[in-house]
Chain A
């Protein structure tokens, strides 16, 4: 298996532009998570999907952030409009079961490093 695949690996954009991050989870995994990693706040859970349905989006910072999972093999995280404080590494992770209860834990992608200038 190729693991969790995220694209792009790096994204540099200007403030105000729309940014779309993409994730392909491991085939057969039922849960998908989007995390944001910054020096100041560490790893923050943004949103959790189970069977393509958003279960918990309480970590999404504000209305500028939105996430979708149109099918079991693809998810997007969109920021519109982007701001410099959105600069971070965004990780997608998937798991076979329901995350913490899944004895295999999460499998993380390599992340997208977003820089908003």
Chain B
């Protein structure tokens, strides 16, 4: 069974600074990897996904993520955060069936 670990529960970053959110997964084969963002009171919105090919994936809102098989990681990055990036971020891993396993989430606070 697949699983996801997001080591950071909460990250505070200054507006304009860079952001990196960590995600480690456990899965025996090549995983499908996703990052979702959840703003307060909202559902989850897909930021980006990795299935195969180029290990650096570009997503919406200026986010990117890099798949590193050797480290079983899929970290999310943004070069310069905006106040509107304050939200909760979820990493998820899927396999060849229908299931997505979500991490516990990382809450991002952006300070002025």
Contacts and interface: CB of A to CB of B under 8 A. Distances in A.
Interface of A: 4, 31, 42-43, 45, 48, 50, 55-56, 91, 93, 98-101, 103-111
A100 B99 contact: yes
A57 to B, nearest CB: 13
B98 A101 contact: yes
A34 to B, nearest CB: 13
A55 B49 CA distance: 25
Given A100-B32, A101-B94, A105-B49, A45 B43 contact: no
Contacts of B43: 4, 91, 93, 108-111
A42 B98 contact: no
Q: How large is the interface on B (under 10, 10 to 19, 20 to 34, 35 or more residues)?
A: 20 to 34
Contacts, number: 62
A55 B98 CA distance: 10
A31 B51 contact: no
B99 A103 contact: no
B56 interface: no
Interface of B: 32, 34, 36, 41-46, 49, 51, 90, 94-100, 102-105
A101 B46 contact: no
7 nearest A-B residue pairs (beta carbon): A100-B94, A99-B98, A108-B43, A43-B102, A108-B44, A110-B43, A105-B46
A113 to B, nearest CB: 8
Given A42-B104, A98-B97, A101-B94, 11 more contacts: A4-B43, A43-B102, A91-B43, A100-B95, A100-B97, A100-B100, A103-B51, A104-B46, A105-B46, A107-B46, A108-B36
A104 B99 CA distance: 14
A103 B102 CA distance: 17
Nearest to A113: B41
A91 B44 contact: yes
B93 to A, nearest CB: 8
A42 B94 contact: no
A99 B104 contact: no
